Amino acid sequence: MNWSWFFKLGSPKWFYQMAGRWQPWIWALTFIGLATGCVWGLAIAPADYYQGDLQRIMYIHVPAAYLSMFVYVVMAVAGAIGIIWRMKMAYYVSMSCSPIGAAFTFLALVTGSLWGKPTWGTYWVFDARLTSELILLFLYLGHMALFNAIEDRKNADRAAAVLAIVGIVNIPIIHFSVEWWNSLHQPASLSKLEKPSIDQSMLWPLLIMIVSFKLLFVSLLFPYVRNHTLWREKDSQWVQQEVEQ
């Protein structure tokens, strides 16, 4: 297998230029996907039989919760690649994931609380799913804080990467918490091996929103990585040339 593409990603200059070329196209796809999913889910899809229009918050909450975990896995894997192959671009990607993942996690917690108040009668309970999701937010914040607390950037990269890798144990806890413990939170509707327990008229806009949130993640990740690359590579000749253009 030809791994040249993998090591090509390790070039700061190549990644910076590639991300710049692809960024407008990813943003366009993101906008189309989010517009389609929001209109379909919030206006066209039928209201839930029991919850009525309140259920429509699902089209924001579920993708945000899914991305909160997905981004953390990307962050941890990138950190592991940085440690194993000493690829500095992997560290840049890992650090760029932190603020994005924290934003998705915060959005998931807020929308979940707004959904929980009329459903459970309270904005917050120390439920297994909710508590582990809150811990995820603290892991993101800790990842950023640890990196910025260490002056030597190489040591900061490794320390933050180790924290991300250790913290990944929280991801299966979040995912399986509704099965392992008694929980107010409803079971997963899309992660089952059998047929999804959600009607097709609601499933499709939800899937579109999940894919669109993934595109949104990439759309946000590219400028974060590019800015981080410029900061870390500011003494490189190619960065000086980019700034002068």
Structural domain of residue 152, as residue ranges?
23-36+57-183+200-240
Predicted pLDDT at 223: 96
How many domains does the chain contain in total? 1
Q: What percent of the chain has pLDDT over 70?
A: 88
CA distances from 58 to 30, 99, 111, 119, 125 (A): 19, 23, 8, 13, 19
Instruction: With respect to residue 119, please indicate whether it lies within any of the assigned structural domains.
Output: yes
Largest distance between two CA atoms of the chain: 62
Q: What is the rounded CA–CA span in Å between residue 222 and residue 118?
A: 38
Q: What are 42-79's pLDDT values in tens digits?
A: 999 888 777 878 889 999 999 999 999 999 999 999 99
C-alpha span between 172 and 97 (Å, rounded) = 19
pLDDT at 51: 81
| Chain segment 70-95, per-residue pLDDT in tens | 999 999 999 999 999 999 999 999 99
Residues 6+ apart with CB under 8 A from 236: 12, 13
Express each pLDDT in 102-130 by its tens digit: 999 999 999 999 988 887 788 878 888 88
Q: Is the pLDDT of residue 136 over 50?
A: yes
The structure tokens listed for 126 are 């120390």
The pLDDT value recorded for residue 193 is 45
pLDDT tens per residue, range 2-32: 566 666 777 888 999 999 999 999 999 999 9
- Counting Cα atoms < 13 Å in the Cβ hemisphere of 81 gives 19
Domain assignment of residue 188, yes or no? no
Q: Whole-prediction pTM value?
A: 0.91
- Note whether residue 67 is domain-resident: yes
